[in-house]
Structure 1
Amino acid sequence: MSQITSVKTTRSSVLGASLMLAACVAYAGVNVATQWAGTKTGIPSVMIAFWQYIIALILTLPFVFRLGLQALRTNHLMLHIMRVALAAAGVQVWIYALTHVPIWQVIALAMTSPFFVILFARFFLKEVVTPARLITAIVGFSGAVIILAPWSDTYTAYALLPVLAAALWAGYSVMTKYLTRFERSVSISIYMLVLLSPINAGLWVASGIGMPEMAAPAMEVWFILILIGTLTAIAQYCQIAAYSEADAVFLQPFDDLKLPINVILGWIVFAAVPDNNFWFGAALIVGASLYLVRRDAGKLPARA
């Protein structure tokens, strides 16, 4: 490798890590603002999800227009709809969880998603599950059980919601991987944006929830909704840009920083302090996730 190539690689790695860190901070802001919207202003979770992605879509429309309608050509429309439906369900469950479960617990339990991916990939993509992968998944789920602490007096069924969201997003990820066999990545991304908002709208209508009386002034309600949508657009942009600069394996540790960042913000805004079970359980989940990604590093295509 020449010195010039080495410098370019280093710059890309630093930029990728910085963008991923920015995405983690933005996502943490989304989570805190979402929990505030649900618990302090009385906005129903279906409304939050709808406006979150409507606002994010509006902010990303210039990118869609630049690519044109050719990016929407597909022979697998139903697969796109099923994939985005899984994502929409995950968003609804996630937001509902944030209005009922401490933020530190929600974030940690959502990190079980890679272990569901292993399970779903085995059954739907016929991928091989090695003993190491199976043990890693068991360790990760053990960490989730420790955080859930179903034996404690404070346990409620709401604590299972982040795990359900993780499972739904894992299904979304596996279907995304399946679609990459036939579709261009740009088409997959655009269909996510175009379909998610109307699906969220349909879920809102189906819920039968109208415009409720808010526990906060209208200006505060709109401010928090616009903030959530804006931070969502920023987070998604930074995350995609990060992956365009550096390898997923390199970026994984920086992506895992979302856990402590969310814990810190939750402590500052809500004075939500994790219990003793959290730290050991979170260490098992993060450790297992990192091991899984590092072990599969050699199976990923190298960057040019």
Structure 2
Amino acid sequence: MNSHSNSISHLRNPALAGAAYMVLGGAAFALVNVGLQAVTMRFGMLPASAAFWQYLIAMLCGLPWIVRTGFGVLRTENAGAHIVRVALAAIGVQFWVAGLASVPIWQAIALIMTSPFFVTLGAGFLLGERVGPARWLATLIGFAGGMIILAPWSDAFTGATLLPVAAAVFWAATSLMTKKLTETESSRTITLYMLLLLAPINAGLATTAGGFAIPGMAAAALIVGAGVMTMAAQFFIVRAYASADAAYVQPFDHLKLPLNVLAGWIVFGFVPTGNLWFGSLLIVSASIYIAHREARAPAAQAA
């Protein structure tokens, strides 16, 4: 009886729930990345087409939430900013899926984790926020980790290796736009504009790149699975941040790296090089430090 009560109390523990949701989100994204890499690498699907179908399906999965939320929440005086934000996110998605079509999962995931460092650069140089010496040092350490993984001095380096870095830059710009919009907009308004605008923007990019063709039923099944898992991953991450403090759950997000390494090894036989682990250690350590500093800042201001 006591053991049963303990297990129930663990499930209701907000900290444990937040950690579990974040790990589930990372696992869902690992499945998404494997599916996208399979349809682009093995079936030859255009990355822009894969991104369109992925996020269209994710949006359809989220329609019940959109209807329940109500379209009145879309009233805004910053429509232009919303469009720019979603356009930046859509371009980041295109670079990301193109990267998955070109480089191993482990390398793409490690490089996309440099996004917080680009956010720090943008906050310092574009938003005029004060960035102390410690955060600048953490940013430099994170970029050093990215360079170790990129290894531009090696014969294996190609231009395609930079695609996940480009995705990180555009997603960092999206984060900066989000930060500005939260000063005047609700999180529901920001989320709804993302869901509703991403599909048409991706459609335009897919049309420019060559169309919407899906090469066969196997590819269709994979892309549907990727869309469903995209929505599931978003749900899990939102639940994680709703369950516990961001500073606590953020480190669990970095478990997506070993999860993606495992998925890439099982499905594609991708074996990471030794550089991955040292470079990733620098990236993860620096990003955890920056996340910790970001979490402490509001508390210090409140005090």
> Conserved in 1, the CA contact under 8 Å of 2:86 and 2:174?
yes
Which residue in 1 is equivalent to 2:149? 147
Which residue in 1 is equivalent to 2:99? 97
1:189 aligned residue (175, 188, 191): 191
Per the TM alignment, residue 10 of structure 1 is displaced from its structure 2 partner at its CA by 7.0
1:270 aligned residue (258, 268, 271): 268
The secondary structure found in structure 1 opposite 2:59 is helix
Relative to 1, partners in 2 of residues 1:268 and 1:205: Cα closer, same or farther, differing over 3 Å?
same
CA distance in 1, matches of 2:137, 2:257: 23
- CA shift digits 1:46-78 (9 cap, x unpaired): 110000011000010000000111111100000
> Conserved in 1, the CA contact under 8 Å of 2:88 and 2:173?
yes
Which residue in 1 is equivalent to 2:6? none
The secondary structure found in structure 2 opposite 1:75 is coil
CA distance in 2, matches of 1:67, 1:290: 33
The secondary structure found in structure 1 opposite 2:257 is helix
1:227 aligned residue (197, 217, 225): 225
Relative to 1, partners in 2 of residues 1:149 and 1:62: Cα closer, same or farther, differing over 3 Å?
same
2:77 aligned residue (75, 78, 84): 75
Which amino acid is the alignment partner of residue 66 of structure 1?
R
- Which has the higher mean CA deviation after the structures are superposed, 287-296 or 270-279? 287-296
Map 1:119-134; keep pairs closer than 5 Å.
Answer: 119-134=121-136
The secondary structure found in structure 1 opposite 2:62 is helix
CA distance in 1, matches of 2:57, 2:28: 15
Relative to 1, partners in 2 of residues 1:100 and 1:228: Cα closer, same or farther, differing over 3 Å?
same
Relative to 1, partners in 2 of residues 1:211 and 1:52: Cα closer, same or farther, differing over 3 Å?
closer
2:161 aligned residue (142, 159, 162): 159
Which amino acid is the alignment partner of residue 265 of structure 2?
W
CA distance in 1, matches of 2:12, 2:64: 31
Which residue in 2 is equivalent to 1:24? 26
> Conserved in 1, the CA contact under 8 Å of 2:49 and 2:213?
no
CA distance in 2, matches of 1:195, 1:115: 27
CA distance in 2, matches of 1:144, 1:44: 27
1:286 aligned to 2:272?
no
Q: Give the number of aligned pairs.
A: 292
2:248 aligned residue (240, 247, 250): 250
Which residue in 2 is equivalent to 1:3? none
CA distance in 1, matches of 2:240, 2:119: 22
Relative to 1, partners in 2 of residues 1:9 and 1:181: Cα closer, same or farther, differing over 3 Å?
farther
Q: 5+ residue gaps in structure 2?
A: 1-8
Map 1:53-68; keep pairs closer than 5 Å.
Answer: 53-68=55-70
> Conserved in 1, the CA contact under 8 Å of 2:49 and 2:211?
no
1:172 aligned to 2:170?
no
CA distance in 2, matches of 1:295, 1:212: 45
Q: Runs of at least 4 residues of structure 1 off by over 4 A?
A: 7-10
Normalised to the residue count of structure 1, the TM-score between the two structures is 0.93
CA distance in 2, matches of 1:144, 1:223: 34
Which residue in 1 is equivalent to 2:297? 299
> Conserved in 1, the CA contact under 8 Å of 2:114 and 2:168?
yes
Relative to 1, partners in 2 of residues 1:263 and 1:11: Cα closer, same or farther, differing over 3 Å?
same
